[in-house]
Structure 1
Amino acid sequence: MFRSVGRARLVPRRVILHGAGVAVLSTAAQAQSGYPQQTVRYINLFVPGGATDILSRAYCAKMSELAGQQFVVENRAGAGGTVGQAAIAKAVPDGYTLGLGSVASLAVAPSLYPSLPYDPARDFTYVSGIWQVPNLLFCNNDLPVRSVPELVSLIRSRPGRYVYGSGGSGTTPHLTMEWFKQRAGLDIIHAPYRGGAPAMVDLMGGRIQLMFDNIPTAIGAVRDKRLRPLAVTGATRSKALPDVPTMMEFYPGFEVTSWGGLVGPAGLPLPVVNRLSGLTKRALESEDLLRIFDDNAATAWWTTPEDFASFRGQQDALFAELVKVSGARVD
């Protein structure tokens, strides 16, 4: 019952509290619908100057243009991307700290490291894919092969004679070669390096014979004819090297990409996720961003949040098997 005091009416306390709650929810909803209202921090997992840095900065520049607020890249490199990935997982889920979700830290690392400071399935909100970059199989000019079948025939004729390089044990190029070895039944020795660049120096110098690496790493030497391309690992041929066949043309289902997407900490509000998803779709349809992606042999890759999370789980299963086969491990 309400009790009159003059013309005023006393409102029950529960009604006042309910009204306050509605006001708070309304304010939060308004803030989310106007997202972003301040600078957004985007954590890149790797060092400045590399392919992921170039692609991340181009993407964030376009997002800044579309959103009307700055998306600022912060590099937090270390431990195969897991340092930066952990920082994203621990951020406040308000949409103002986001970052790169990568194949290395979200699909390879769970099997490669004995423990991680985050759970890829539980600690992130998956927003959208951004890009995919296939690996390239290439050899030095001294190796007497010009195709994948010729390479397989040569290696089988002299098992244990040839050496391949990689940018390190457990990297996607290393695991891609191990999958190739398994599919083709090859006996070839692995020489891990501290990065792809020193491996390529030895490749061109004849100390090793072949390797996989991301296309942007090798494309300059390939175009200068210092190295010979044999196949790419995407689902389709690369625009950057349209005459180079895919591995799938020889081994059905052989698809491996170094992918990157937008993630935030677990619990991002749905209106924020939807806003980011929509902005990302628009960004990846813009001609100026697509030109930068093409220049770096990257394919624009927009997904729904649900599809991105599902894809990560599938990739986790694939790389778990490849890590097991390769024997790679980081203690």
Structure 2
Amino acid sequence: MTLTRRGLAALPALALAGGHAQAQGTWPDRPLRVIVAFPGGSTPDLAARAVAPHFQQAFGQPVVVDNRAGGGGHIGTEAIARATDGHTLGVTIGGPGSTAKILNPALGYDPATDLVPISLLARLPFVLVVHPSVPARTAAEFVAYARANPGRISYASTGPGTLSHLAMEDLAATQGFQAVHVPYRAVGQAVLDLVAGRIQAFFAATGGVLAQVREGTVRALAVTSAERFPAIPEVPTMRESGVDSEPAVAWIGLFAPTGMPADRVARVAAEAGRALAVPEQRRALETAGFTVVGSDPDTFRALLASDIQRWGAIIRRLELRPES
């Protein structure tokens, strides 16, 4: 093809325009990676895999789910925070995604400054369960019994600084009783000891004790959400059960490393909401006991701020450390 002088003169401008378009680009312009801070088959993994296929279709790029388990979610969450390629998202849960730095000042990342909240994907209330030997059938009766028997209630948690620990400490502080903390590494072992009567109480994630509640080997007094939980609709909320307390819920969230532009954050959040509106994508999370959300960034950011203020104050008051 022969170029005219006018055409030759236009080449530098075209080159610059092409270079500018390529630099600005359409995001994403290469595969996306979704780091999950927990192993395959975990509930955070289910949440990531519920949105990943939709992201691939919506953004026109392959989406790779990258499980980085370990350290109670801190290893994977730090990997999310430290990503610099502009094409990494991540899924984690409450502790690693909110109060981690307060609990462990030596941690290599700070969720409050190193992560950008995109969407609250799902939430899960806790349920206050007791051994049948505890003479309480409501949360108010449990509080009265604990007040009358200081130090005689032993309660389980899934570790220092976890929500199952902080929820009971919050209740004890606001309602004026003392209880003995017994940390466990796994929900299953805590439930076994509760059924056996070696501990008396547990703020357990609802999915972890539904079978025992239905069998009657433990007694459910109240759920910690603002509304009753569909899987056990007969169990009242804490307020319905006579104790005026703020809701306490576990959650799974979608994040980006700090620096992702606000328009991209909003776009990813909108697509996550669309993905979770598909019944087939919701089912796995609902089967695991979670309430599917798919929020906007502002709603998720407000939840994080509330968690950091509320639970962080308890962590500081108790001077908790990860292995305390």
Q: What TM-score results when the alignment is normalised by the length of structure 1?
A: 0.86
Please say if residues 86 and 260 of structure 2, whose CA atoms lie closer than 8 Å, have aligned partners that are also in contact. Answer: yes
Structure 1's unaligned 5+ residue stretches are 1-5
Question: Partner residue of 1:3?
Answer: none
- Report the residue type matching 1:255 in the other structure: P
Counterpart selection for 2:294 from 296, 302, 318: 302
1:292 aligns with 2:297: no
Per-residue CA distance 1:131-153 (angstroms, 9 max, x = gap): 11111110122222221122122
d(CA) in 2 for partners of 1:253, 1:151: 14
Question: Partner residue of 1:79?
Answer: 71
Counterpart selection for 1:114 from 91, 98, 105: 105
CA 1:9 to 1:155, structure 2 compared with 1: closer, same or farther past 3 Å? closer
Q: What TM-score results when the alignment is normalised by the length of structure 2?
A: 0.88
Deviation at 1:82, TM superposition (A): 1.5
d(CA) in 2 for partners of 1:10, 1:68: 35
Mean Cα deviation higher: 264-273 or 196-205:
264-273
Alignment coverage as a number of residue pairs: 319
d(CA) in 2 for partners of 1:274, 1:193: 38
Q: Secondary structure at the match of 1:23?
A: helix
Counterpart selection for 1:261 from 240, 247, 253: 253
CA 1:43 to 1:9, structure 2 compared with 1: closer, same or farther past 3 Å? closer
Question: Partner residue of 1:185?
Answer: 176
1:213 aligns with 2:204: yes
Deviation at 1:165, TM superposition (A): 1.0
Q: Secondary structure at the match of 1:264?
A: strand
Question: Partner residue of 1:47?
Answer: 39
- Report the residue type matching 1:148 in the other structure: A
CA 1:253 to 1:31, structure 2 compared with 1: closer, same or farther past 3 Å? same
Question: Partner residue of 2:157?
Answer: 166
Please say if residues 93 and 266 of structure 1, whose CA atoms lie closer than 8 Å, have aligned partners that are also in contact. Answer: no
Mean Cα deviation higher: 278-287 or 206-215:
278-287
Deviation at 1:7, TM superposition (A): 4.3
Deviation at 1:268, TM superposition (A): 2.2
Q: Secondary structure at the match of 2:239?
A: helix
- Report the residue type matching 1:50 in the other structure: S
CA 1:243 to 1:269, structure 2 compared with 1: closer, same or farther past 3 Å? same
- Report the residue type matching 1:201 in the other structure: L
Per-residue CA distance 1:155-203 (angstroms, 9 max, x = gap): 2222111211111111110000101111211111111112222111111
d(CA) in 2 for partners of 1:63, 1:10: 42
Q: Give the alignment's Cα RMSD to 1 decimal.
A: 2.7
Question: Partner residue of 2:235?
Answer: 244
Question: Partner residue of 1:89?
Answer: 81
Runs of 4+ in structure 1 deviating by more than 6 angstroms, as ranges, are 9-12
Mean Cα deviation higher: 308-317 or 191-200:
308-317
d(CA) in 2 for partners of 1:247, 1:73: 37
1:176 aligns with 2:170: no
d(CA) in 2 for partners of 1:24, 1:234: 53
CA 1:11 to 1:64, structure 2 compared with 1: closer, same or farther past 3 Å? closer
CA 1:253 to 1:144, structure 2 compared with 1: closer, same or farther past 3 Å? closer
Please say if residues 42 and 100 of structure 1, whose CA atoms lie closer than 8 Å, have aligned partners that are also in contact. Answer: yes
Question: Partner residue of 1:24?
Answer: 19
CA 1:324 to 1:270, structure 2 compared with 1: closer, same or farther past 3 Å? closer
CA 1:153 to 1:116, structure 2 compared with 1: closer, same or farther past 3 Å? same
Structure 2's unaligned 5+ residue stretches are none
Please say if residues 120 and 293 of structure 2, whose CA atoms lie closer than 8 Å, have aligned partners that are also in contact. Answer: yes
- Report the residue type matching 1:170 in the other structure: G
1:225 aligns with 2:216: yes
1:99 aligns with 2:94: no
Q: Secondary structure at the match of 1:186?
A: coil
CA 1:215 to 1:24, structure 2 compared with 1: closer, same or farther past 3 Å? farther
Deviation at 1:126, TM superposition (A): 2.1
Counterpart selection for 1:123 from 114, 126, 129: 114
Per-residue CA distance 1:8-40 (angstroms, 9 max, x = gap): 59969xx95x865543342355432xx4753x3
Deviation at 1:235, TM superposition (A): 1.6
Work out the percentage of aligned pairs sharing the same amino acid. 32
Q: Secondary structure at the match of 1:277?
A: helix
Please say if residues 45 and 75 of structure 1, whose CA atoms lie closer than 8 Å, have aligned partners that are also in contact. Answer: yes
